[in-house]
Amino acid sequence: MLKWTRRNMLAAIALAIPLGFGGMAATDATAESVLRVIPHADLKNLDPIWTTAYISRNHGYLIYDTLFAMDENLAPQPQMVESWTTSDDGLVWTFKLREGLNWHDGTPVTAADCVASLERWGKRDGMGQQLFAVMDSLTATDDDTIVMKLNAPYGLVLESIGKISSNVPFMMPARVAATDAFEQIDDYTGSGPFVFQKDLWVPGSKVVYTKNEAYVPRSEPVSAASGGKIAKVDKVIWTYFPDQTTAVNALMAGEIDYFESPSNDLAPIMEANPDIVVEVNDPLGNIGFARFNHLLPPFDNVEVRRAAIMAMKQEDYMAGAVGDPKFWSTCYSVYPCGTPLANEVGSDVIKTGDIEIAKAALAASGYDGTPVVIMQPTDVPILSAFSLISAEKLRAIGMEVDVQAMDWSTLTSRRALRDPVADGGWNIFHTWWIGADLIDPMAIGFSGNPDKGWFGWAEDAALEEARSAFAMATTLEEKQAFGRTVQERLWAIGASGQLGQFFTPVAYRKNVTGLIKSPVQFFWNLSVD
């Protein structure tokens, strides 16, 4: 047994002194400006081309740069590109890189790096695949010139290489971009305004980025992803909080500066604190969906799908799952309300929101009483609530409903199954898409090709034709016309139920300034006073 002899006590003091002074030394060394952030999710992997996860995309924006970037009007603007030209027939595009671009290891960014990066991205991203399908060649003619030759005029060249959300075509050194598109990269050298500190990365907890002192920002003012990316803090530290209550407490206690995605129901607590600002930073918000499995009965019948949609009153979903009306609105366009293609053509079916009309439509559809399996992800509160509301609505119109509770991971694997319900299949799951991913018909969720499309596997040749025509359109009028056709087809086939547009606020302490209004979270331009 340890006795408190003089010798033991001296030993304990000797141990305590360096430990105590170690703390003082650590405090003295922290004169740099640090932005302490709670990100919306844990950064599980570091390759924003390998995964579509938004947290990996946000990580990508910190350390990589893009050839083009969307401004706040969702128009592509040059970012790494200095100038570009298009041939009269629209088939040859020439891009010139701007001066002063360097990788984090100090070597210059070359056109060959950018070609390799685009090629890797083109193997994974939907828009990238479409672009490469009309491409004859993509070459680096010298160190700072990229030439893209197309086999047909294509209306989404800049929109594709400047897309704002996953998968963003981030530029990587050629040696990194040479990695198989279905394998993760293990070299995180970028050319963006911040540098990833791999040695300090603790998966599930902490990510540290330091300012890239050599980064040369553009001279234009910042506008969403475009303009001058000026790192105004020395360090950005992401600390992942699995518990929302603790996260809010940490923000209010001043242990954290910025909380990217607090639950809407915690907003009133933070709003009551005079040191905290709670605001909606993403003008497009998120769009909720009820996705049908088009392959299995009863939703292999278009009339049954449309009857179900008629019962889905957006106000009920939004009030039940999101709550405070200042964080949601109804939206009867497949493109987020407030974006250039938004319209209400063909939207009568989703505006119905009436149980009696839906009941009559179901009776006329030939529904035979086949039970409907709804997958309910209980670990995602909004989606869990959507699932329960759908269950009540479908029961109310006379459908047999089986709500199966599971976690989101299980749901994501099960929704990939095309098998009958008895073999693990499903009928409905709920999700949301961020508005920025739905701004045009190229979103994978709007696909009408069951072989290459999204889970639920909608099939409609006219829909696919309109999507292809949209991609080829070169004027805004043409794009709007094809955009309307796509929407009409989506409602006509009852591809999905649309449940409303909702907004998740950000919360930050008042000493944080320079927030950029955007559907994606950026960390340049932010400073801590």
Partner 1 sequence: MFFYIIKRILATIPVMVIVALFVFLMLRLSPGDPAAVIAGDYATTEDVERIREQLGLNEPIPVQMYKWIAQLARGDLGTAIFSKLPVTTLIGQRLEPTLLLALCTIIFTVLVAVPLGTIAAYKAGSWIDRFVMLFSVAGFSVPIFVLGYMLIYVLSMQLKILPVQGYKSPFEYGLWEFLRHMILPVITLSVIYIALIARMTRATVQEVLQEDYVRTARAKGQSEFKVLMFHALRNAAVPIVTVIGLGIALMIGGVVVTESVYNIPGLGRLVLDAVLARDYPVIQGLILFFSFIYILINLLIDLSYTLLDPRIRY
Q: Which residues bind partner 1 (CB under 8 A)?
A: 16, 19-26, 42, 44-46, 50-53, 124, 126, 166, 180, 182-184, 186, 201-206, 239, 241-243, 245-247, 249-250, 252-253, 255, 379, 406-410, 412-416, 418, 431, 433, 437, 444-445, 452-455
Q: Which is nearer to partner 1, 8 or 184 (CB)?
A: 184
Shortest spacing between CB 509 and partner 1, in angstroms: 14
Shortest spacing between CB 305 and partner 1, in angstroms: 20
Burial of residue 22 (number of CB atoms within 10 Å: 0-12, 13-18, 19+): exposed
Q: Is 204 left (phi over 0), alpha (psi -120 to 50) or beta?
A: left
Q: Which is nearer to partner 1, 51 or 86 (CB)?
A: 51
Q: Which is nearer to partner 1, 184 or 511 (CB)?
A: 184
Q: Which is nearer to partner 1, 2 or 369 (CB)?
A: 2
Can you name the residues that pair with 405 across neighbouring β-strands? 376
Shortest spacing between CB 434 and partner 1, in angstroms: 10
Exposure of 347 in the CB half-sphere (CA atoms within 13 A)? 18
Q: Which is nearer to partner 1, 4 or 182 (CB)?
A: 182
User: Which amino acid type is present at position 270?
Assistant: M
Kindly write down the DSSP assignment for every residue of 237-255, as one continuous string.
Answer: EEE--S-HHHHHHHHHTTS
Output the CA–CA distances (angstroms, integers) from residue 476 to 221, 317, 481, in the order listed: 26, 33, 9
Strands 92-97 and 145-150: antiparallel
Shortest spacing between CB 411 and partner 1, in angstroms: 9
Shortest spacing between CB 425 and partner 1, in angstroms: 13
**Residue of 308, 279, 314 whose CA lies nearest to 394:** 308
> How many angstroms separate the CA atoms of 295 and 427, rounded?
9
Q: Which is nearer to partner 1, 26 or 422 (CB)?
A: 26
Shortest spacing between CB 378 and partner 1, in angstroms: 12
> What tokens were used for 74?
């969702």
Q: Which is nearer to partner 1, 45 or 197 (CB)?
A: 45
Output the CA–CA distances (angstroms, integers) from residue 319 to 186, 265, 393, in the order listed: 44, 12, 14
Q: Which is nearer to partner 1, 124 or 467 (CB)?
A: 124
**Residue of 298, 338, 318 whose CA lies nearest to 494:** 298
Shortest spacing between CB 419 and partner 1, in angstroms: 12
Residue 231 · residue 209 · CB < 8 Å: no
Q: What is the 3-state secondary structure (H, E, C) of 335-398?
A: CCCCCCCCCCCCCHHHHCCCHHHHHHHHHHHCCCCCCEEEEEECCCHHHHHHHHHHHHHHHHCC
Neighbours of 347 (CB within 10 A): 18
Shortest spacing between CB 406 and partner 1, in angstroms: 7
Q: Which is nearer to partner 1, 109 or 252 (CB)?
A: 252
Helices (H) and strands (E) in the chain, counts: 16, 21
Shortest spacing between CB 284 and partner 1, in angstroms: 16
Q: What is the 3-state secondary structure (H, E, C) of 256-293?
A: CCEECCCCHHHHHHHHCCCCEEEEECCCCCEEEEEEEC
**Residue of 302, 268, 224 whose CA lies nearest to 68:** 224
Shortest spacing between CB 415 and partner 1, in angstroms: 8
Q: Which is nearer to partner 1, 12 or 364 (CB)?
A: 12
